[in-house]
């Protein structure tokens, strides 16, 4: 089993997840993420490291995408349409539906902001999605005759899945991002006790026990409420899908409960589609949402309405969700510029921002921003950061390991120092090896595959004829010839093998010379050896043949005088492989010399 | 006389962009201090990377010591990191790379060496001897640092005398692929630098006097090639491969002659398995004139490799050789044999005794190995896919240096495809084995269909066209065909239909063509109703491609229009999947070219109603909740307008006006952009139709007539309400829209104000109109800021008044705006100053758990 990480940078970096696993001769790429912090080649993984020889389509057996976040799927259209991978891609149904929306959203922002041309196009996103095979949870998908995959629920975001990859009796589980505690709209991750050879787990929050999400949500609502009460405006920059829906539910219920009147807007025109998908994939959400769905669809919002550009100038309080989430272009940046000067207003950043974006600047406390045309924008509005991301914390990771019972664990997506602590904990508690390779590093893990072998009836009958009935508790030795042909293994009797393969039998004998100090004549030495062996090997048939040699089962012993020293006799011992143990026992016995008493 | 020379403009611009400004120089010491402070949490990796990018650019055009002298904080930073007992891996890695960048010029190298900084960083007792070396990022930083610095002899000597070469050779086997690969690249670079900068007389095989550093490297290469360790041999082969790939100097031959015998032995050696590395090595050599142009021994080695390597290993070498124009004929034949062998075996396996000529002369082929690979489940698909990919690669070349037997190749491809869908189960044992292995093998199907499509452009494979279409139709019909295979089948079918049309024009194969077309549309009807959106979409795309290529052919038009395809296509305008709706829009838009817009349209009656279709597309444009279909509509409208299908000028004016009023409020900026393109086409057509603006150098007398034309066009544009959209777009929050609008307005300005008239027309006077224009000017100046463009008309600008607009065009400083808009919108955030500020701002503020997903 070989594992190669092409993915995230070290440290607190939202990198590119891209992992290559070679398992029993099959090569699978897990996730194909992009790095938003760069706008050159560095934003995509360097796929040239996957194989030096040959095409990627021939080398890879399949690609699996765990969920729709761009750090897990953002490089996919580049990989399939620009690098030229033409093979199958697997993801769950919701991921297949939502992934192109996010890719399209990101493409538009990228092309819009930088006027880039060397980026994938809408057509490429579509062509890429056409290559995707969607899978259901717990459905075993046969990629080819040997390779099979199976998806498990991962929580985290709608449609997120952990994947089990299996070839023969070897298997790997890749978690992607997951969450072990249910949240407002999603359930907790769950997996079989599938005992994989390797569990690849994310470890973003490797050493933290996170404060309760409820607290963060309360905090969020309080801040929004206070701002609106004092007549201020709240801007929440988001990406089209995911976090946005979660916060919408949160605000909607709060508005309903508190009977608030301030308008809430969603700016992208994507809400409808997003909500459509949340409705469509209702089975992927948590129990509470599913239950209430019968009475009222939680994604049909009463208070949240579509935003028009002119609304930004309206007086009075309001809450606006606008894209993109890092305030680096488009609608959200435009609204931010309008509202930034008023201390009554507030911007809440619910996600990570990369360096260079306005979002990053205001989060790091910068209040005077240079804008285009040497204009300085003074930020007087309040700035808040709130992370709602749903990753498993240390407790959750341990819980998953307990569930799956892997033989090895490999941690990715985390900071080395923090991972080290978790690694030790895992090794102590579960007594399994835990790895944490750096980016670009390969890790080789040896498995003990048990390979099924068919045994011929003839051979079995022969064994039972000897009188030994099969017994589960007593493994027994069986002699036969192993035929490996067309990926199947069969154990047959040597005679049958010879017949099947049309070969003649050759006898192979092992030989060994033992020197014995004995001045007597050769036939006398032989006699002494014969008597000695007869005395020691009482259960065996020891024979003295007329030609002067001795046999014990298949073992043959002959004696000659040493050509230079007549006082030394050379015993030539030879045996076949069937009597290997006896043969070596005999030679070691003879090497000790002959007992005096028999002389 | 003092000599002066001008640097190219782009160098000057680059220097300006990345120059060390006063602001940056003030920020830099604080940034350095923060980075070197171990109490500070590590900075974001991307910040450090971008900081290095900036230094790389700062030093690229400047080899003086000014940078390090003016900014002593840089040297101090390196010194203080070196003094840290336990530097963080990321900061140490950054320091190594930074030091390398600074030391890239000899002057700065000497400056840094005054305090022995470089010796301490890259020498024997540097990081390789410390505990942090365990961290891959430190090893990677060290290799990159050395590489950055390696541009002059002092750097070479520092490394060679400090034991650095040993470290780099060890790093070639690093567990991190990034480090291993960088180490190998570094050795190639050092070897080249050493030979090219330190050699005093030309090197020859007899008197091989390598410079010291090169000598050390070459000795290590030779030793490892002779070792028994496969990994060492592999590393050296990799190194030689990239050396011969990147360096085409004659000395490479001298180096080669020293190792040739050893490498040749690897071809037949069974104890060391490095054969798979040889194909790439030989291929890179074959591309180098140093080896390619030699007689004899090199090509003999290539021939021997083609013979000894397994078919899978030899494949890439063979196809590489076949792409060469200059290559001995016998080697080319050998390469062709390797490439075609699997295809030949397929043909032979399918028919016994052989009914057709095979691909290869039996005397040259030795099919045993290939046959055994093809009859094994694990290798059959791999070998075929590789061969097919190579064939596609060759066929995609516009000029092939070698003739391929196209007919047999086509027959072989068809056989493969028949094996794959179970249409052929031959009697021969090999054939039946292969057919069992290939049945339902999507990988092979996809590759074979790609080659099939590429083959359509080669002459000489026409005799099989009938049976080829039987096969393609079978694939199109079969429910077992997967969506991706179906897409490829569509691609191949469309290419071969074009070929078929060409043939039927030259021969009298009309009937056959008609039958085939009928069958294709029958199948297409079914596919357009597939429950799978991918299939519906690919079917629509196929239809569009066919119309584009074949719309002038009568047979095609008749078959299409007598089928149900047009009706089904229109139905798909209401598909639940937006991708499909968009493709349906495109297909319907193209269909219009043969229904309503064709002068000799074969349509009778009201079956195809132009107004209905236009209204339907208009409706999609104004109501579809998703961008793709709306974008498709605007593209189709542009296409129609370009091809003059929208009727007389008056109709067109109304049409454009309607469309613009729909798209100007669209949320998708690409739709708004499409609207601007539509305006651009409309304006240039109108100006053309009403008379071109006069040449500014024309005699004065014509000015009167031309001004009438201008007025007329201007009135048309005002009536169509183009200007309010154009001017408002200048302030669009999505930059490409602003750029496009500015381009269009500039175009109009140049039409209405030829150079000669421009100067006199600038004055806007003190009238109400003048005030309005002044307001417009002001708004636009602030406009690159995100102010929404007020439209309530209270500002005194009437966008529908020709006089107003004529003045606006003259007065607004569009050129300046154009430059402003053309700067990338993140140029401020991307500037070095912004980066330095960001690093400083994050100091001490990073909280736990900021790591997050997007």
Task: Please provide the DSSP assignment of B688-724 as one string.
Answer: HHT-PPPPTTS-GGGHHHHHHHHHHHHHHHHHTTHHH
First-to-last C-alpha distance (Å) of chain B: 62
Series of mean pLDDT values for 10-residue runs along chain A (599 residues): 56 67 93 87 87 84 94 94 94 93 86 72 96 95 93 92 94 93 84 94 74 79 94 89 79 90 79 71 76 64 81 90 83 89 93 84 88 80 84 88 95 78 92 90 85 84 70 74 82 87 85 87 88 87 89 88 82 87 89 71
Nearest to B590 by CA among B628, B521, B543: B543
Is A333's CB within 8 Å of B786's CB? yes
- pLDDT of B101 reads 97
The DSSP string of A327-359 is: SSSHHHHHHHHHHTT-TT-EEEE-S---TTSHH
Three-state SS at A442: strand
Residue B442 at interface with chain A, using a CB cutoff of 8 Å: yes
Question: What distance lies between CA B728 and its chain's CA centroid?
Answer: 34
pLDDT band of residue B419 (cuts 50, 70, 90) is very high
Q: Does A359 touch chain B (CB under 8 A)?
A: no
Tell me the CATH architecture of domain A213-385: 3-Layer(aba) Sandwich (3.40)
Residue B753 vs residue B121, higher pLDDT: B121
Distance CA B48, CA B35 (A): 9
pLDDT mean over B506-523: 85
Low-confidence winner among B9-18, B559-568, B764-773 (lowest mean pLDDT): B9-18
Residue B638 has pLDDT above 60, yes or no: yes
Q: Which residue, A299, A158, A130, A305, is CA-closest to A241?
A: A158
What pLDDT sits at residue B362? 57
- CA pair distance B227, A362, nearest whole angstrom: 59
Assigned token pair, B715: 């009135």
Cβ A241 vs Cβ A98: under 8 Å:
yes
CB–CB contact B625 A272 (8 Å): yes
- Half-sphere exposure for A82 (CA within 13 Å, toward CB): 18
- Nearby residues of B24 by Cβ (< 8 Å), 6 or more positions away: B832, B833, B836
Non-local CB neighbours of A146 within 8 Å, separated by 6+ positions: A24, A26, A167, A168, A487
Q: For helices B483-506 and B554-561, what crossing angle results, to 10°?
A: 130
Q: Are strands A62-64 and A555-561 parallel, antiparallel or unpaired?
A: unpaired
By CB atoms closer than 10 A (0-12, 13-18, 19+), residue B40 is middle
**Predicted confidence band at B363 (pLDDT cuts at 50, 70, 90)?**
low
A280 close to B (CB below 8 A): no
Is the distance from CB of A19 to CB of A31 less than 8 angstroms?
A: yes
pLDDT the model gives residue B600: 61
Q: Which two tokens stand for residue B250?
A: 């004659």
Which pTM was predicted? 0.86
Count how many Cα atoms sit within 13 Å of the Cα of residue B272 in the half-sphere of its side chain.
22
State how beta strands A170-174 and A233-237 pair.
unpaired
Q: What are the Cα distances from residue A521, in Å, to A527, A531, A556, A561, A597? A: 10, 16, 19, 8, 18
Q: How many CA atoms lie within 13 A of B278 on its CB side?
A: 29
**Is A384 part of the annotated catalytic residue set?**
no
Sorted by where each begins, the domain ranges of chain A are: 2-209+390-445, 213-385, 454-501, 509-592
Contact B670 A108 (CB under 8 A): yes
CA nearest neighbour of B102 among B67, B72, B137, B130: B67
ipTM surpasses cut 0.85: yes
* Chosen CATH of A2-209+390-445 out of 3.60.15.10, 2.40.110.10, 3.40.50.300, 3.20.20.140: 3.60.15.10
Q: What is the pLDDT, as a whole number, of residue A488? A: 79
The most confident of the ranges A267-276, B339-348, B425-434 is: B339-348
* Identity of the residue in B46, B784, B842 whose CB atom sits nearest the CB atom of A37: B46
Chain A residues touching B785 at Cβ < 8 A:
337, 371-373, 375
Catalytic residue among A81, A202, A217, A246: A202
The reported pLDDT for the residue numbered A537 is 86
* pLDDT tier at B811, thresholds 50, 70, 90: confident
Are A103 and A125 in contact by the 8 Å Cβ rule? The answer is: yes
Q: Is the Cβ of B133 closer than 8 Å to some Cβ of chain A?
A: no
Helix, strand, coil tally for chain B in percent (to 5): 70, 0, 30
Most confident of A251-255, A295-299, B418-422, B631-635: B631-635
- Topology alike, domains A213-385 and A509-592: no
pLDDT for position B484: 93
Distance from the Cα of B650 to chain A's closest Cα (Å) equals 33
Q: pLDDT tier at B549 (50, 70, 90 boundaries)?
A: very high
Average confidence (pLDDT) over B211-224: 93
B379 touches A: beta carbon within 8 Å: no
Are A173 and A191 in contact by the 8 Å Cβ rule? The answer is yes
DSSP assignments along B375-429, one per residue? TSHHHHHHHHHHHHHHHHHHHTSSS-SS---HHHHHHHHHHHHHHHTT----SSH
SS3 at position A101: helix
Cβ-based contacts of B585 with chain A (< 8 Å): none
pLDDT recorded at residue B694: 45
Query: Which of B138, B171, B851 is the best residue to mutate to test the A interface, defined by the most A CB atoms within 10 Å of its own CB?
Result: B851
What's the full length of chain A, in residues? Answer: 599
Q: Which helix (H) or strand (E) holds A542?
A: strand A542-544
Interchain proximity A177–B735, CB inside 8 Å: no
pLDDT value of position A230: 93
Residues in chain B: 854
CA distances from A589 to A538, A583, A584, A595, B409 (A): 14, 10, 8, 11, 71
For B84-98, give the DSSP string.
-SS--HHHHHHHHHH
Lowest mean pLDDT, pick from B475-484, B547-556, B787-796: B787-796
Least Cα distance to B258 among B229, B291, B218 occurs for: B218
- B135 at the A interface (CB within 8 A)? yes
The Cα angle at residue B96 between residues B94 and B98, in degrees rounded to 5: 65
Mean pLDDT of chain B: 85
Helices first, then strands: H and E counts in chain A: 17, 30
Segment among A132-136, B275-279, B679-683 with least mean pLDDT: B275-279
Count of Cβ atoms closer than 10 Å to residue B314 Cβ: 25
Contacts of B786 in chain A (CB under 8 A): 333-334, 337-338
Chain A CB within 8 Å of residue B530 CB = no
Query: Are A589 and A529 in contact, with CB atoms under 8 Å apart?
Result: no
Place of tokens 């395809």: B565
Please state which CATH number belongs to domain A509-592.
3.30.310
């Amino acid at each position: 089993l070989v594992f190669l990480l092409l993915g995230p940078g070290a440290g607190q970096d939202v990198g590119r997840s891209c992992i290559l696993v070679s398992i029993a001769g099959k090569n699978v790429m897990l996730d194909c993420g992009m790095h938003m912090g760069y706008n050159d080649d560095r934003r995509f993984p360097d796929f040239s490291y996957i194989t030096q020889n040959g095409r990627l389509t021939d080398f890879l057996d399949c690609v699996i995408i765990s969920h729709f976040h761009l750090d897990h799927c953002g490089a996919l259209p580049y990989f399939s349409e620009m690098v030229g991978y033409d093979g199958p891609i697997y993801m769950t149904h919701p991921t297949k539906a939502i992934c192109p929306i996010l890719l399209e959203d990101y493409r538009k922002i990228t092309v819009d902001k930088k006027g880039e041309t060397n980026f994938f196009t809408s057509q490429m996103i579509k062509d890429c999605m056409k290559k995707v095979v969607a899978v259901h949870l717990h459905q075993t998908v046969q990629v080819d005759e040997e390779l099979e995959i199976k998806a498990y629920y991962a929580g985290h975001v709608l449609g997120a899945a952990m994947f089990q990859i299996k070839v023969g009796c070897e298997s790997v589980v890749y978690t992607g991002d997951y969450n072990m505690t249910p949240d407002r709209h999603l359930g907790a991750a769950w997996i079989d006790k599938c005992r994989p050879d390797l569990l690849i787990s994310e470890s973003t929050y490797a050493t933290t026990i996170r404060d309760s999400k409820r607290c963060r949500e309360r905090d969020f609502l309080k801040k929004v409420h206070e701002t609106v009460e004092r007549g201020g405006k709240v801007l929440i920059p988001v990406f089209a899908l995911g976090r946005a829906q979660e916060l919408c539910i949160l605000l909607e219920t709060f508005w309903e409960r508190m009977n608030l009147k301030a308008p809430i807007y969603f700016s992208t025109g994507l809400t409808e589609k997003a909500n459509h998908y949340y409705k469509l994939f209702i089975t992927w959400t948590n129990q509470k949402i599913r239950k209430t769905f019968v009475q009222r669809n939680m994604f049909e919002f009463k208070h949240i309405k579509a935003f028009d550009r002119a609304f930004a100038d309206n007086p009075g309080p309001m809450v606006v969700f606008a894209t993109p989430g890092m305030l680096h272009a488009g609608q959200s940046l435009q609204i931010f510029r309008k509202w930034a000067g008023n201390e009554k207003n507030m911007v809440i950043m619910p996600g990570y921002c990369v360096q260079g974006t306005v979002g990053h600047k205001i989060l790091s406390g910068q209040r005077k921003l240079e804008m285009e045309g040497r204009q300085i924008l003074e930020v007087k509005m309040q700035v808040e950061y709130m992370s709602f991301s749903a990753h498993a914390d240390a407790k959750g990771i341990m819980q998953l390991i307990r569930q799956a019972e892997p033989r090895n664990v490999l941690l990715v997506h985390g900071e080395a120092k923090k991972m080290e602590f978790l690694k030790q904990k895992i090794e102590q508690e579960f007594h399994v090896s835990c790895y944490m390779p750096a980016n670009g590093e390969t890790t080789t893990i040896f498995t003990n595959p048990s390979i099924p072998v068919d045994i011929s009836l003839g051979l079995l009958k022969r064994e039972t004829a000897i009188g030994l009935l099969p017994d589960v508790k007593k493994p027994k030795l069986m002699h036969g010839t192993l035929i490996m042909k067309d990926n199947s293994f069969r154990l047959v009797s040597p005679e049958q093998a010879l017949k099947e393969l049309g070969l003649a039998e050759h006898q192979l004998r092992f030989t060994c010379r033992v020197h014995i100090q004995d001045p007597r004549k050769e036939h006398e030495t032989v006699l002494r050896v014969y008597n000695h062996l007869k005395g020691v090997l009482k259960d065996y048939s020891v024979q003295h043949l007329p030609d002067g040699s001795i046999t014990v089962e298949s073992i043959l012993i002959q004696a000659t005088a040493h050509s230079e020293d007549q006082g030394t006799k050379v015993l030539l011992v030879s045996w076949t492989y069937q009597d290997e143990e006896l043969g070596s026992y005999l030679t070691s016995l003879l090497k000790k010399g002959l007992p005096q008493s028999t002389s | 006389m003092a000599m002066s020379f001008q640097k190219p403009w782009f160098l000057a611009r680059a220097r300006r962009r990345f120059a060390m400004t006063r602001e940056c120089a003030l920020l830099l010491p604080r940034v350095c201090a923060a980075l070197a402070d171990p109490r500070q949490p590590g900075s974001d990796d991307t910040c450090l990377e971008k900081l290095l990018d900036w230094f790389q650019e700062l030093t690229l055009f400047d080899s003086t010591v000014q940078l390090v002298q003016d900014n002593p904080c840089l040297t101090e930073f390196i010194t203080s990191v070196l003094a840290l007992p336990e530097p963080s891996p990321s900061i140490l890695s950054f320091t190594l790379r930074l030091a390398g960048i600074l030391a890239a010029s000899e002057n700065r190298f000497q400056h840094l060496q005054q305090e022995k900084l470089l010796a301490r960083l890259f020498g024997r007792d540097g990081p390789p001897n410390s505990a942090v070396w365990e961290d891959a990022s430190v090893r990677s930083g060290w290799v990159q640092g050395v590489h950055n610095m390696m541009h002059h002899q002092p750097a070479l000597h520092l490394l060679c005398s400090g034991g650095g070469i040993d470290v780099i050779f060890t790093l070639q086997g690093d567990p991190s692929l990034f480090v291993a690969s960088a180490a190998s690249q570094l050795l190639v670079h050092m070897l080249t630098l050493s030979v090219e900068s330190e050699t005093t007389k030309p090197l020859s095989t007899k008197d091989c006097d390598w410079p010291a550093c090169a000598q050390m490297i070459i000795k290590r290469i030779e030793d490892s090639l002779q070792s028994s360790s496969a990994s060492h041999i592999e590393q050296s082969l990799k190194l030689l491969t990239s050396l011969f790939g990147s360096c085409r100097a004659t000395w490479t031959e001298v180096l080669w002659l020293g190792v040739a015998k050893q490498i040749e032995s690897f071809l037949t050696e069974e104890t060391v398995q490095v054969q798979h590395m040889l194909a790439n090595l030989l291929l890179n050599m074959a591309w180098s004139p140093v080896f390619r142009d030699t007689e004899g021994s090199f090509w003999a080695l290539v021939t021997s490799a083609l013979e000894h390597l397994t078919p899978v290993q030899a494949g890439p070498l063979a196809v590489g050789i076949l792409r060469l124009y200059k290559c001995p004929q016998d080697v080319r034949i050998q390469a062709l044999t390797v490439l075609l062998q699997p295809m030949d075996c397929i043909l032979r396996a399918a028919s016994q005794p052989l009914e057709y000529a095979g691909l290869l002369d039996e005397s040259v082929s030795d099919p045993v190995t290939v046959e055994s690979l093809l009859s094994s489940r694990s290798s059959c698909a791999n070998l075929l896919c590789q061969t097919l990919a190579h064939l596609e690669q060759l066929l995609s070349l516009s000029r092939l240096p070698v003739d391929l037997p196209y007919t047999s190749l086509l027959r072989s491809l068809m056989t493969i495809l028949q094996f794959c869908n179970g249409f052929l189960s031959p009697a021969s044992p090999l054939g039946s084995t292969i057919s069992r292995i290939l049945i339902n093998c999507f990988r092979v199907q996809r590759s074979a269909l790609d080659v099939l499509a590429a083959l359509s452009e080669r002459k000489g494979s026409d005799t099989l066209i009938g049976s080829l279409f039987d096969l393609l139709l079978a694939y199109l019909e079969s429910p077992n065909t997967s969506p991706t295979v179906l897409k490829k089948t569509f691609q191949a079918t469309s290419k071969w239909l074009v070929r078929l049309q060409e043939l039927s024009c030259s021969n009298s194969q009309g009937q056959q063509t008609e039958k085939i077309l009928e069958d294709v549309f029958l199948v297409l009807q079914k596919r357009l109703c597939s429950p799978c959106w991918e299939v519906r979409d690919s079917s629509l795309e196929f239809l569009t491609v066919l119309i584009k290529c074949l719309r002038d052919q009568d047979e095609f038009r008749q078959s299409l229009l007598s089928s149900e395809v047009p009706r089904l296509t229109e139905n798909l305008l209401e598909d639940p999947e937006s991708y499909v709706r968009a493709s349906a829009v495109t297909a319907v838009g193209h269909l219009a070219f043969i229904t309503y817009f064709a002068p000799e349209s074969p349509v009778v009656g009201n079956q195809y109603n132009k107004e209905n279709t236009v209204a339907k597309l208009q409706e999609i444009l104004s109501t579809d909740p998703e961008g793709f279909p709306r974008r498709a509509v605007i593209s189709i409208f542009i296409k129609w307008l370009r091809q003059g299908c929208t009727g007389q000028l008056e109709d067109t004016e109304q049409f454009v006006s309607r469309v613009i009023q729909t798209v100007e409020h669209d949320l998708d900026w690409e739709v708004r952009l499409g609207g601007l393109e539509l305006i651009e086409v409309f304006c240039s057509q109108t100006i053309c139709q009403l008379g071109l603006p006069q040449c500014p150098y024309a005699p004065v007398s014509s000015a009167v007539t031309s001004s009438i034309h201008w007025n007329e066009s201007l009135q048309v544009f005002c009536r169509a309400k183009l200007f309010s959209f154009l001017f408002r777009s200048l302030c669009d929050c999505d930059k490409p829209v602003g750029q496009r609008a500015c381009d269009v307005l500039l175009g109009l300005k140049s039409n209405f104000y030829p150079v000669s008239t421009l100067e006199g027309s600038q004055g806007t006077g003190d009238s109400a109109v003048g005030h309005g224009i002044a307001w417009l000017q002001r708004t636009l100046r602030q406009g690159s800021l995100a102010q929404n463009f007020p439209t309530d008309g209270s500002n005194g600008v009437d966008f529908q008044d020709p006089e107003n607009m004529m003045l606006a065009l003259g007065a607004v400083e569009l050129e300046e705006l154009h430059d402003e808009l053309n700067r990338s919108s993140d140029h401020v955030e991307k500037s070095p100053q912004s980066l330095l500020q960001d690093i400083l701002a994050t100091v001490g503020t990073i909280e736990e758990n900021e790591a997050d997903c997007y």
